[in-house]
Chains A and B, each alone.
Chain A
Amino acid sequence: MMNQNQKLISVRNLKKYFPLKVSWLKIFKERPYVRAVDDLSFEIKYGETLGLVGESGSGKTTVGRTLVRLENPTGGQILFEDVDLAKLFGESLRTKRKDFQMIFQDPMASLNPYMRIGNAIEHPLKIHKMGNKAERKIRVYEILEKVGLPPEEFYNRFPRHLSGGQRQRVVIARAMVTNPKFVVADEVTAMLDVSIRSQILKLLIDMKNEFGLTYLFITHDLASAKYICDKIAVIYLGKIIEIAKTYDIFKEPLHPYTKILIASVPVPDPKMKKKKFIPSGEIPSPINIPSGCRFHPRCPYAMEICAKVEPELKEINGRTVACHLYD
């Protein structure tokens, strides 16, 4: 890979606000917004996997959907190689789509129930006019084989005949069939059974190694991110609060919220019955984002300044974190 150490994706000040429906009476007031993604910047190098970890309502899925332009960003840049995806529309966006793909959380819902597996995987090739009919079929067989579904058995089946894990393999095959450079994997294992989850993670790792892919791996589960990500970004209420190499995050989490997330992962050991620190409260709604540091109402280390000044995401001793504790 000639482009090692170069940026594939570079997201700058990305914003995605959703307007809220308001009643007629309040029409003259300022229109409220859900600030799902609020001024986010990060970059992903060629061949790297960045984990985006957060709770539901943190905006992590919106980041993924905006990156592959299923949503139009409210502001900011999405530099993909040298093209700003945020500025692409219509036909130029459509044809560019073969270079980036997304795998969704729910494998039961992400396949058209009326399309046979073979056709579903072939469809991206057809859309982007890649190869003739025979070539496309060979390619589909090849990719089915790669994701561990014997083509003879699965090519002509409908999604309803497949288990959740098998469907997720089909979705992965469909995402990879056009040889994209970048894939957003959104909670791909969340809806699968425990004994299937690790299989799918393994498959994603294998596919990445084989095709030299770059991933954005979105999850709420820090533990599974550990196995696949080179770097992890923790997102809270639409902002990244810490970003670091996977090893560093687990070795020494800096942000209090990161610490809490790591401590929340259940440990299968009955001897760990020790009293853990359990944070109070839940993630607030992104309509009313707390002042200052977004996390301060739940933070055990909150100081006076935290309620007033929003901490910047900055580099301190080689680590990147947004917290006043490290000022």
Chain B
Amino acid sequence: MDGSSGEILMISKEIRKGLRGLFKDSSGLMAVIGFLILIFYVVVAIFAPFISPYNPTQPSGPSLLPPTVSHIMGTDNLGYDIFSRLVWGTRMAFAIALIATAIAAVVGIPVGLLVGYIGGKTDRVVTMIMDSVYAFPGLILAIAIAAMLGPGLLNIAFSIAVVYIPTYYRVIRSQVSTVKSELYVDGARAIGAKTSTIIGSYVFPNVLPSTIVIFSMNLADSIMTEAGLSFLGLGIAPPTPDWGYDLAKGQQFILNNDWWMVLFPGLAIITIVLGFSMFAEGLDEYFNPNIGEKR
């Protein structure tokens, strides 16, 4: 399964890079397009019961049916309607991605801030721990934790989160160690600000923009990791609608030319990843106060 999902991830990264160049001078537009894509998926997730024509967890026609008028995205090997599964799967995608990324951010950012600001021995010890987690291949680590915790939405989200904590930590810590030697931090010390105030009002806002980008990447990545876990039976229990699971399953049939089983879940993943990225990149450019000066 790693083949196709890895490829899709690569492609989405390439597209992201291209987009960044294309929209360089119109960050506002980029954010708007990203926002529209996300809004589209949010609407789909909320109104799933009204949009989907069939029950996503029950066969609704012959198996392996190519796209037709009644099943616009075809059916899978069990005769489930792919369109309906995608519509319902939007909920799962959002839930897993948001919860996992939020857990990772909530743990990784404060630890990175504090350790980066304090520095010294604490820094060396915590960084070593984080680096050893980071050095572990992400999916394998997630598999190990998921296997330990068992299936279920929160457990999956948690196992994915553990993989991303070091990402936040590393980026924040390295940013903090640059920011803390800035003159405005010296200035804050000179006016008598407490350490907590310095970290909160002077350091944190200046490292925040870099987390927005990681946030978007992790949202996208977590959808892929979740797909991998689901495929191994460690994720959401089938037949709960889930894009990653459908994509992984569809891959088995690609050699029979049953392309629709891969194409539509794949498109869904790519577009939502794009939506997150464009929105985040656009916001980053918009909010970063120094970008305007770097001409």
User: A: which residues have CB within 8 A of B?
Assistant: 65, 68, 70, 94-98, 101-102, 104, 106, 109-115, 123-124, 127-128, 158-160, 171, 174, 178
Q: Which residues of A contact B189 (CB under 8 A)?
A: 70
Q: Which of B275-295 contact A (CB under 8 A)?
A: 289-290, 292-293
Are B187 and A110 neighbours in the complex by a CB distance under 8 Å?
A: yes
Chain B 168-206 interface mask (CB, 8 Å, partner A; 1/0): 000000000000001110111111111001000110011
The B interface, classified by DSSP as helix, strand, loop or mixed, is: helix
Are A68 and B289 closer than 8 Å at their CB atoms? no
Q: How far is the CA of A280 from the CA of B183 in the complex (A)?
A: 34
Contact of A112 with B188 in the complex, beta carbons under 8 Å:
yes
Residue ID in chain B nearest A100 by CB atoms: B190
* B184–A127 CB distance below 8 A: no
Do residues B197 and A127 form an inter-chain contact, with CB atoms below 8 A? yes
Q: Which residue of A has the minimal Cβ distance to B291?
A: A160
B289 touches A160 (CB 8 A): yes
B206 touches A113 (CB 8 A): yes
Distance in angstroms from A121 CB to nearest chain B CB is 10
> B184 contacts A110, CB within 8 Å?
yes
Whether B193 and A127, one on each chain, are in contact in the complex, defined by CB atoms closer than 8 angstroms, is yes
With CB as the reference atom, state the residue of chain B lying closest to A114: B205
Contact of A102 among B190, B197, B206, B290 (CB under 8 A): B190
**Further pairs besides A96-B192, A127-B192: 7, Cβ < 8 Å:** A94-B192, A106-B183, A109-B183, A112-B187, A113-B290, A115-B205, A123-B191
Contacts of B293 in A (CB 8 A): 160
Q: Least Cβ distance of A40 to chain B in Å? A: 20
CA distance A101 to B187 in the complex (A): 9
A112 touches B184 (CB 8 A): yes
A97 CB to nearest chain B CB (Å): 3
B206 lies within 8 A of A101 (CB): no
Complex CA–CA separation, A70 to B188 (angstroms): 10
A sample of 13 cross-chain residue pairs with beta-carbon separation below 8 angstroms, ordered by A number, consists of A65-B186, A70-B189, A98-B191, A98-B192, A101-B190, A109-B182, A109-B183, A110-B184, A112-B202, A115-B202, A159-B289, A174-B187, A178-B191
